[in-house]
Amino acid sequence: MIPASFDYVRASSLDEALATLREHGEEAKVLAGGQSLLPLLRLRLAYPGTLVDLGRVEELRGVADRGDHVLIGAMTTHYEVVTSPVVREHCPLVALATATVADPAVRHRGTFGGSLAHADPAGDLPAVARALDMEFVARSPEGERVIPAADFFLDYLETALDPGEILTGVRVPKLGPGWGFHYEKFHRTAQAWAIVGVAAAVRRSGGAVEEARVALTNMGPVPVRAIGVEQAVRGADPGANGALRAAAERADEDTDPPSDLHARPDYRRHLARVLTRRALLAAAGAA
Amino acid sequence: MTEQLDAGVAAWQIKESDVLDGREVGRARRRKEDARLVTGRTQWTDNIQLPGMLHVAFLRSPMAHARITRVDTSVARTQPGVVAVFSGADFAAEQGSLPCVWPVSEDIVIPDHPPMAVTEVRYVGEAVACVVATDRYKAADALDAIEVDYEPLDAVTDMTSALDEGGPKVHEAGNKAFTWTFAQGDIEAAFRDAAVRVERTFVQQRLIPSAMEPRAVVAQTDGDAFTLHSSTQIPHILRVMLALTTGIPEHKLRVVAPDVGGGFGSKLQVTAEEVLCLLITRRLGRPVKWTESRSEGNLTVHHGRDQLQRISVAADADGRIRGVKVDLLADMGAYLMLVTPGVPLLGAFMYSGVYKMDAYDFTCTGVFTTKVPTDAYRGAGRPEATFAIERMVDELAAELGMDPIELRRRNWIRHGEFPYTTVCGLTYDSGNYEAATDRALALFGYDRLRAEQADRRAREDPVQLGIGVSTYTEMCGLAPSRVLGSLSYGAGGWEHASVRVLPTGKVEVVTGTSPHGQGHETAWSQIVADALGVPFEDVAVLHGDTSSSYKGMDTYGSRSLVVGGVAVVQACEKVKEKARQVAAHLMEASPDDIEFSRGEFRVRGTGTSRTIQEIALATFAAHDLPDGFEPRLDADATFDPDNFSFPHGTHLCAVEVDTETGATRIRSYVAVDDVGNVVNPLIVEGQVHGGIAQGIAQALFEEAVHDADGNLLTTTMADYLLPSAADLPAYTTDRTETPATTNPLGVKGVGEAGTIASTPAVVNAVVDALRPYGVRDVPMPCTPERVWRALGQARTPQRTDGGLS
Ligand SMILES: Cc1cc2nc3c(=O)[nH]c(=O)nc-3n(C[C@H](O)[C@H](O)[C@H](O)COP(=O)(O)OP(=O)(O)OC[C@H]3O[C@@H](n4cnc5c(N)ncnc54)[C@H](O)[C@@H]3O)c2cc1C
């Protein structure tokens, strides 16, 4: 399809981008890597009057080690995230999940911030953000605010960002030693979105699971933490037959999986349980 | 990657240099057209820019079935950049009906098919109006301003209920297009006291052909004559059909298929857009262009497959097949397009596959639904037939507790029995199923994999292993004209070639085939290089333009080499004969004493010779030619084959099935194909790889899905899943070479073989993995969810609500 006409502004600084957004109001939209926005335009599912391109805003790009957390600039591409030594060392779950996003072409254009701001429940990064309790740094002409992951995703393709706000970066807390990670993605082709995905982080001490974080992709309009699993798995011995399986049976509690061409809800629920078990085993190093 | 490729080609060439002895045919040449194609230094239809060119955008029906009660284009006409807006009524008097050239039965219903709907729409995506504007963006924008009122009618989406009396009708005459039957032998007797009978119903899901290059059309006129560029497989047929449809005299219409990026049958069509662009350019006197978007293409390109197959096999206790009965419903969609009704007939003769049997019975009913029409898609009819019989042989083997390979050995035509006339009346000229199968089994490690399968079963491993077999053959090389005539097809199956020898000894070959990715320029050059003894580089191949290639039947049905290539050979023979006359004259010898070898004409037993290049120049000068000799070496030939071509082979597939998630993974895939003699192994390899990919795609990935109202849900590639290289295994391929006896090159078609062979191999493997759980079939595509539900149903047989719609 062919997009409807729109105005295009290439911002060279964050302030300029914010000013342009303010000037054009609700009509304007931010353009990051374009890997989600351009398809919407081409299918005429979105009609923004003005696109504010962040591609040249250098201050939004890059990965920085900030002591207790890693700051990933919103305009850092998936490729840059996957290949960043800082990310690989301190937040391997982010690297693992990002490596499953689409294909190399998309990963070279699509951005970390764009993926999260787009808030597609089938996207891989929102669940990781929930599992790791990331913090979202947003700027508006009024100033900066920080939004915890638990408050960021409001609904299908809807976040806590105001129309005039730009996501500048995301703080990924370092979890410290003893943690293992895994992202278990189930999809039909290498390039396809997740039917269900499970992000898991597990800390063991003396063999048993001491703490686990589990978040689910595409099991509802927003990514969800599998609280029931996290509770049930505490103290379990990953080596013991069935210990993680029992905990994983609770994976689909309080979820609201969608029905679409790729899967119906009962199948998604089943997948969530199976994949959660596998993710926990892998994160616990017992797979 | 390039290094690997180079290494691979180098290895081939080392092997070749021993065998080929300087010959071109048989060399794994890289395709001469590829550098141009992959760097874009070429002419795709959409690249064409003409002065004053306008752009067309179509408004398409959002409803599967409705009466059009009002179309108001007045506001759209006032939009920026808009030059004209038309609705169906504007064209009603001149647009005619899109042609169907295959009226398979006397009483077939061929409904009127206006290129632009006038009073009624019958599928979502049917064109109801169009905007012509100064650029494609303005054209697309103005579509929003066209107002159309529809009075909804009932959609007809299910073939079985479409045939119920009193239901909603797609056309006045009802929903049955035709019933076509074919019977050989005593089917009653074959089934009556058979020890085993197996009956199954298979669904051939609807597929959307996805050529890399979308369809595109550019139409122009000088006020008298017309030129149509189109991304088509069939410039020649298109020219005839457009002349008949639009009334533009054939000699005033030039059709050009410039470089075309794939078709797979989807561009074997006379499309509404081609007709309408011609009509628009005739009205406005200005060139116009239309290029589809991918989602527009998914909605409107003709679809493939979509059959419901009820098949039964009767056999003796020792596995000998007695007979096969087939009852088919074939979804035509809303209209009959170019060869829509003929597609199932192309399969009708292939349900006996490679097997001997006493009797065969086939019935096919073509059914109208309110969906986009179906038509040829890679394999057209033969993949469906091959799938059904190869699935059934595996089912029969399971029923008998026999190894599926052993069952095949007991039933197939043995090498010594060729030529063999099958129960369907086809004469297979040659084949060696034993050799291909033995080779495939060895490459596959059949026994080792069976042992692993047994082990996984014993351990109740959540990941089970399945092994699928497909010993296929197919009929291609369309086609002997008289056979096409006997099947009521509207044209012949011959092919034309002309060979022009230029003054400097370079050669131009004009072919009536119309390559769109297959590599004809390379293969034809190899053939001509050997036939005339000229260097490969000295041959140019012209195609796809009715002004340079006035005569042809184009490219589909794996016909180009086996029919068109033979025409090239025959034309070369004539050139050689003429050159021999000139050579004899120049060397003052009798033509009978002239030997020809590698481009040299030599007087037998002497050192006197002339090269073909010297003869070309002498003929050009024409100073000293034999008396009465017409001063040219050029020649042409039209070849009409006596028989079809019957490639065959054995494909083996091992699939791991995760019984917890339903996910499948192809562990290994072995294809041993016999396509007769090989002109270019690299091209054959490419066709086999692509073919297998497309067959696996049907088995595991692709499906056009409609909702109950007839809306296509799979309009984008996020919904209609095409596998990429990352989703497919590395194939192990090999060949046996049993030359065809029906053409001088000994070649058989290869364009569709991989697609035809692979689908049943994969599904057989999936079912084989799950058989211990009681699963006897998984509908295609075998998605993880479908596998999971099949397992669930088999485990709890009383459940009836689990199947996917
Ligand atoms: C073929 C294909 C397959 C894909 N598969 C996957 C997959 O498997 N998993 C997956 O997770 N993703 C997948 N994606 C999406 C991909 O990850 C995109 O990169 C991502 O969704 C959007 O990032 P972007 O930078 O392209 O954002 P854009 O498309 O430019 O923008 C997306 C939305 O976010 C807004 N936005 C962007 N940046 C900001 C910002 N800094 N502040 C405020 N708002 C902002 C935009 O206004 C827009 O609404 C796929 C995409 C394609 C094309």
pLDDT tens digit string along A242-252?
A: 889 999 999 99
- d(Cα B771, Cα B775) in Å, to the nearest integer? 5
Residue position matching structure tokens 């092994």: B467
Which residue, of B587, B620, B639, is where some domain finishes? B639
Here the tokens at position B643 are: 């028989």
pLDDT confidence bin for B635, thresholds 50/70/90: very high
At residue B207's C-alpha, the angle toward residues B177 and B45, to 5°, is 100
pLDDT of B10 reads 42
Total-model pTM: 0.96
Backbone angles phi, psi at A105, to 5 degrees: -60, -45
Q: Are A86 and A66 in contact (CB under 8 A)?
A: no
Q: What average pLDDT is seen over chain B?
A: 95
Do residue B517 and residue B599 come from a single domain? yes
Cα torsion at B505, B509, B510, B511 (round to 10°)? 170
pLDDT for B751: 96
Here the CATH number for the domain that contains residue B149 is 3.90.1170.50
> Which residues contact residue B106 at a Cβ distance below 8 angstroms, ignoring those fewer than 6 apart?
none
How far does residue A272's CA lie from ligand 1's centre (Å)? 24
B722 to chain A: which residues are within 8 Å by CB?
Answer: 189
Average pLDDT over residues B9-27: 68
Confidence of residue A240 (pLDDT cuts 50, 70, 90): confident
Instruction: Provide the CATH number for the domain around residue A131.
Output: 3.30.465.10
In terms of domains, do A103 and A196 share one? no
Pair B467, B384 in one domain: yes
B390 with B251, same domain: the answer is: no
Is residue A121 domain-shared with residue A47, that is, in the same domain? no
Question: Are B286 and B145 contained in the same domain?
Answer: yes
Minimal Cβ distance to A188: which of B137, B295, B701: B701
Average pLDDT rounded to a whole number, residues B446-469:
98
CB–CB of A1 and B296 under 8 A?
A: yes
Residues B77 and B108 in one domain: yes
Cβ B619 vs Cβ B633: under 8 Å:
yes
> What pLDDT sits at residue B576?
98
A112, two tokens = 């970390």
Q: Identify the domain boundary among A117, A138, A171.
A: A171
Q: For B649, left (φ over 0), alpha (ψ -120 to 50), or beta?
A: left
Q: What pLDDT, in 10s, does the model give residues B183-232?
A: 999 999 999 999 999 999 999 999 999 999 999 999 999 999 999 999 99
Query: Which of A:224-263 have CB within 8 Å of B?
Result: 261-263
A186 and A118, same structural domain? no
Confidence of residue B302 (pLDDT cuts 50, 70, 90): very high
Question: Do B650 and B624 share a structural domain?
Answer: no
C-alpha to C-alpha distance for A49 and B178, rounded to whole angstroms: 53
Tokens found for residue B23: 């010959």
CB proximity A40 to B under 8 Å: no
Q: Is residue B316 part of a domain?
A: no
Task: Give yes or no for residue B2 having a pLDDT over 60.
Answer: no
For the purposes of burial, counting CB atoms within 10 Å of the CB of A105, is it exposed (0-12), middle (13-18) or buried (19 or more)? exposed
**How many angstroms separate the alpha carbon of residue B328 from the centre of ligand 1?**
46
Provide the CB-side half-sphere exposure for B230 (13 A, CA): 32
Q: Which amino acid is at B15?
A: K
Q: Ligand 1 centroid to A110 CA: how many Å? A: 6
B472 belongs to a structural domain: yes
CA A152 from centre of chain: 11
Residues forming a β-bridge with A65: A70
pLDDT tier at B6, thresholds 50, 70, 90: very low
Indicate if the pLDDT at residue B595 is higher than 90: yes
Q: Which residues pair with B197 in a beta bridge?
A: B314
Domain edge (last residue) among B621, B639, B657: B639
Q: Which of B140, B141, B723 sits opposite A189 (nearest CB)?
A: B723
Same domain, B779 and B757: yes
Sequence-distant (≥ 6) Cβ neighbours of residue B244 within 8 angstroms: B99
Residue with the nearest Cα to atom 38 of ligand 1?
Answer: A114
Per-residue pLDDT at B377 exceeds 80: yes
Contacts of B56 in chain A (CB under 8 A): none
Q: Which residues of B touch A186 (CB under 8 A)?
A: 661, 663, 784
Which protein residue has the closest C-alpha to ligand 1 atom 28?
A34
**Domain co-membership, B605 together with B548:** yes
Distance B552 CA to ligand 1 centre (A): 49
Closest-CA distance of chain B to residue A58, Å: 32
Q: Is residue B331 within 8 Å of B203, Cβ to Cβ?
A: no
Residues of chain A positioned with their CB less than 8 A from the CB of B728 = none
The residue contributing the CA closest to ligand 1 atom 36 is A114
Domain boundary residue among A151, A171, A191? A171
Helical segments of chain A, H only: 14-24, 37-42, 78-83, 85-90, 92-99, 104-109, 112-118, 125-131, 149-152, 227-233, 243-248, 265-283
Confirm whether B610 is domain-assigned: yes
pLDDT band, residue A287 (cuts 50/70/90):
confident
CB-nearest partner of A2 from B140, B724, B726 = B140
Query: Is A189 contained in some domain?
Result: yes
Q: Which of chain A's residues have a Cβ under 8 Å away from the Cβ of B785?
A: 262-264, 267
The kind and range of the H/E element at A154 are strand A153-155
Query: Does the CB of B154 have a partner CB in chain A at under 8 Å?
Result: no
Both tokens of residue A236? 């379990």
* Chain B nearest-CA residue for A3: B137
User: Least CA distance to B707: which residue of chain A?
Assistant: A261
State how far the Cα of A114 lies from the Cα of A36, in Å rounded to an integer.
8
**What distance in Å separates the CA atoms of residue A119 and residue A246, rounded to the nearest whole number?**
31
Q: How confident is the model at residue B240 (pLDDT cuts 50, 70, 90)?
A: very high
Which residues of chain B have a CB within 8 Å of the CB of A3? 137
Q: Is residue B296 part of a domain?
A: no
Residue B19 lies in a domain: no
Domain count, chain B: 3
A 256-285: CB under 8 A from B: 261-264, 267, 270-271, 274-275
pLDDT value of residue B799? 41
Q: Is residue B31 part of a domain?
A: no
Task: Give the chain B residue whose CA is nearest to the CA of A265.
Answer: B785
The three-state secondary structure class of B686 is helix
Please list every residue in chain B whose beta carbon sits closer than 8 Å to the beta carbon of residue A276: none
Interface contact flag, A193 B718, Cβ < 8 Å: yes
Q: Which atom of ligand 1 is nearest to the CA of A46?
A: 49
| Domain C-terminal end among A116, A138, A171 | A171
Q: Which residues of A touch B137 (CB under 8 A)?
A: 2-3, 5
What is the pLDDT at residue B62? 98
Q: SS3 of B701, please? A: helix
Answer for the pair B416, B448: CB distance below 8 angstroms, yes or no: no
Instruction: Phi first, then psi: give them for residue B520, nearest 5 degrees.
Output: -60, -35
Evaluate whether residue A36 is within a structural domain: yes
Contact criterion met (CB below 8 Å) for B377 and B205: no
Whether B104 is covered by a domain: the verdict is yes
Q: What φ, ψ does residue B226 adopt, rounded to 5°? A: -125, 145
Q: Provide the shortest C-alpha distance from residue A105 to chain B (in Å).
A: 13
Helix (H, G, I), strand (E, B), or coil: what is residue B219? strand
Residues 6+ apart with CB under 8 A from A266: none
- Identify the residue whose C-alpha is closest to ligand 1 atom 41: A167
Tell me what pLDDT residue B13 has.
Answer: 46
Locate the ligand 1 atom nearest the alpha carbon of residue A124 and give its number. 11
Given a cut of 80, whether residue A114 has pLDDT beyond it is yes
Q: Scan residues 79-138 of A and list those with Cβ closer than 8 Å to B.
A: 103
- Whether residue A142 lies inside any domain: the answer is yes
State phi, psi for B426 to the nearest 5 degrees. Answer: -85, 145
According to the model, what pLDDT value does residue B541 have? Answer: 98
The string of DSSP codes covering A52-75 is EE-TT-GGG--EEE-SSEEEEETT
Q: What is the pLDDT of residue B21?
A: 83
Nearest CB neighbour to A5, from listed B137, B663, B785 = B137
Strand pairing report for A179-186 and A166-173? unpaired
Note whether B511 and B599 are same-domain residues: yes
Ligand 1 centroid vs B794 CA: distance in angstroms?
41
CB atoms closer than 10 angstroms to residue B713: 14
User: Which CATH number is B700's domain given?
Assistant: 3.30.365.10
- Could you say which of B260, B291, B322 is where a domain stops? B291
pLDDT of B618 above 90 = yes
Tell me, yes or no, whether A162 lies in a domain. Answer: yes
Q: Which of B291, B295, B721 to mutate to test the interface with A (most CBs of A within 10 A)?
A: B721
Distance between start and end Cα atoms, chain B: 43
DSSP conformation class of B31 = P
A112 CA to middle of ligand 1, Å? 8
Residue A17, both tokens: 């981008």
Give residue B7's pLDDT band: very low, low, confident or very high (50, 70, 90): very low
- Say if residues B549 and B510 touch (Cβ distance below 8 Å): yes
Q: Residue A130: which residues within 8 A CB-CB, separation 6 or more?
A: A149, A150, A153, A199, A215, A223, A224, A225
Is residue A113 located within the same domain as residue A149? Answer: yes
- The count of other CB atoms within 10 Å of the CB of residue B406 is 12
Which pLDDT score, from 0 to 100, does residue B443 have?
A: 98
pLDDT of B139 strictly over 60? yes
Q: Residues enclosing ligand 1, CB less than 6 A?
A: A 29-37, 54, 74, 101-102, 106, 110-111, 113-115, 117-118, 120, 123-125, 161, 166-167, 191, 193
- Secondary structure letter of residue A222 according to DSSP: S
Same domain as B632, residue B508 = yes
Residues A258 and A185 occupy one common structural domain: yes
Which phi and psi angles does B40 have, rounded to 5°? Answer: 75, 10
Find how far residue B292's CA is from the centre of its chain. 21
| A107 and A153 within one domain | yes
Q: Nearest-5° angle of CA B775, CA B783, CA A183?
A: 120
Verify whether the Cβ–Cβ distance B661 to A1 is below 8 Å.
Answer: no
Confidence at residue B17, expressed as pLDDT on a 0 to 100 scale: 54
CA distance B57 to chain A (A): 10
Mean pLDDT, rounded, for A145-172: 97
**Distance from C-alpha of B382 to C-alpha of B379, rounded to nearest angstrom:** 5
Alpha helices in B378-466 (DSSP H): 382-400, 404-411, 433-444, 446-459
As for how many domains chain A has, the answer is: 3
Tell me whether residue B325 is in a domain. Answer: no
Neighbours of B105 (CB within 10 A): 16
pLDDT at A258: 98
At A63-80, the pLDDT tens digits run 999 999 999 999 999 999
Asked whether residue A271 falls in the same domain as residue A211, the answer is yes
**The pLDDT of residue B295:** 94
CA–CA gap between residue B486 and residue B555 (Å, rounded): 21
The residue whose CA has the least distance to atom 43 of ligand 1 is A166
H-helix or E-strand spanning residue A181: strand A179-186
**What domain range includes position A139?**
63-171
B487-502: average pLDDT: 96
Determine, yes or no, domain membership for A83: yes
CB atoms A189 and B716 under 8 Å: no
pLDDT tens digits for range B401-440: 999 999 999 999 999 999 999 999 999 999 999 999 999 9
Residue B781, preceding peptide bond in cis (omega within 30° of 0)? yes
Are B522 and B502 contained in the same domain?
Answer: yes
Average model confidence (pLDDT) across chain A: 96
Span B694-708, average pLDDT: 98
User: At A218, which CATH number?
Assistant: 3.30.390.50
For residue A58, being part of any structural domain is answered with: no
Are A193 and A209 within one domain?
Answer: yes
Regarding whether A47 and A75 lie in a shared domain, the answer is no
Residue at A253 is within a domain: yes
Beta strand A196-205 with A208-217 is: antiparallel
Closest alpha carbon within chain A to B787: A267
Full DSSP string of A255-278: -----BTTB-HHHHHHHHHHHHHH
Looking at the DSSP bridge assignments, the partners of residue B54 are: B288
Measure CA B202 to chain center: 21
Domain membership of residue B692 as a residue range? 376-476+646-794
Give the pLDDT band (50/70/90) at residue B18: low
Q: Are B235 and B514 in contact (CB under 8 A)?
A: yes
Phi-psi sector, B99: left (phi>0), alpha (psi -120 to 50), beta: beta
Tokens 């299910």 locate to: B158
Q: How many CB pairs under 8 A join A and B?
A: 59
Q: What is the pLDDT of residue A84?
A: 98
Measured between CA atoms, how close is B779 to chain A, in angstroms? 15
Does the beta-carbon distance from A190 to B726 stay under 8 Å? yes
At A73, the amino acid letter reads G
- Within a domain: residue A127? yes
Sheet holding B54-60, edge to edge: B82-87, B127-133, B54-60, B288-291, B216-221, B226-230, B253-256
So what's the pLDDT on residue B40? Answer: 83
Residue A267 shares a structural domain with residue A197: yes
Say whether residue A42 is in contact with chain B using an 8 A CB cutoff: yes
Q: Which of B57, B295, B788 sits opposite A43 (nearest CB)?
A: B295
Examine the domain organization and report whether B508 and B561 are in the same domain.
yes
Nearest-neighbour CA in chain A from B26: distance (Å): 36
Q: Does B6 touch chain A (CB under 8 A)?
A: no
**Are the beta carbons of A274 and B660 separated by less than 8 Å?**
yes
Res B245: pLDDT? 92
pLDDT in tens, A24-72: 999 999 999 999 999 999 998 999 999 999 999 999 999 999 999 999 9
**Could you write out the three-class secondary structure of B528-575?**
HHHHHCCCHHHEEEECCECCCCCCCCCCCCCCHHHHHHHHHHHHHHHH
| Neighbouring-strand partners of residue A135 | A148, A171
Q: Give residue B294 CA to ligand 1 midpoint distance, Å.
A: 20
Parallel, antiparallel or unpaired: strands B54-60 and B288-291? parallel
